[in-house]
Amino acid sequence: MFTGLIETSGVLRRVTPKGPLVTLVIGAPAAMVAELTLGESVAVDGACLTVVRSGGETFDVDASAETLARTTLGARRTGDALHLERALRLGDRLGGHIVAGHVDATGSIRSRVSVGEALEVVVEAPPEVMRYVVAKGSIAVDGVSLTVNAVLPDAFSLVLIPHTQSIVHLHRKQPGERVNLEADLLGKYVERLLAPRAEGSGPRPPIDLEFLARHGFV
């Protein structure tokens, strides 16, 4: 699990085919690489990948065909910047929101407009993501935990404040560029929990605070 608070930026150094997989060699600060252990998870632009080698100022992760097809990683080129976040440790502050690192789909930048020192960005998203998007809710864009500013029929808007722009590189994305999207995990579980009610099968207990507490939502 991750929080969507980006730890640092890395750079794609090399892409090496490895049978049905590809190995991504990622450059990162030496201090981060020194702490990585074989087999640990790192979110790379929001996609949870496993470290298979580390040393110096680079580490390697393997990406499957499914990962390459579902995310933007298959289109990345040498020299591209990447958001990096190590897995959440028990006891850490949860400053963002629960991010699984399982990208739902890709979206694209529709527009970007300066609002003072901030930047408003509109992101187009497919229906399988939009169904979970709510105003003032959370969404991960290229692994970054962000608050939804407004919801449109097929898109949503975000506001990148100056501090966010100083840490991540989403503000450099231009209209038409693609981004990885992961909807809020809580919404998916609520939908799954309520599915029998929508289908008319089984008993229908009231949705109240007791019900939500019993199922771990409050």
Residue 30 domain boundaries: 8-86
Q: Select from 30, 56, 86 the last residue of a domain.
A: 86
* Same domain for 46 and 75: yes
- Any domain includes 146: yes
* Same domain for 71 and 25: yes
Which CATH number belongs to the domain containing residue 131 in this structure? 2.40.30.20
Q: Convert the chain into a string of H (helix), E (strand) and C (coil).
A: CECCCCCEEEEEEEEEEECCEEEEEEECCHHHHHHCCCCCEEEECCEEEEEEEEECCEEEEEECHHHHHHCCHHHCCCCCEEEEEECCCCCCCCCCCCECCCCCEEEEEEEEEEECCEEEEEEECCHHHHCCCCCCCEEEECCEEEECCEECCCEEEEEECHHHHHHCCHHHCCCCCEEEEEECHHHHHHHHHHHHHHHCCCCCCCCCHHHHHHCCCC
* Tens digit of pLDDT at every position of the chain (218 positions): 999 999 999 999 999 998 889 999 999 999 999 999 999 999 999 999 999 999 999 999 999 999 999 999 999 999 999 999 999 988 888 889 999 999 999 999 999 999 999 999 999 999 999 999 999 999 999 999 999 999 999 999 999 999 999 999 999 999 999 999 999 998 888 888 887 766 655 556 666 677 777 877 76
* Same domain for 115 and 179: yes
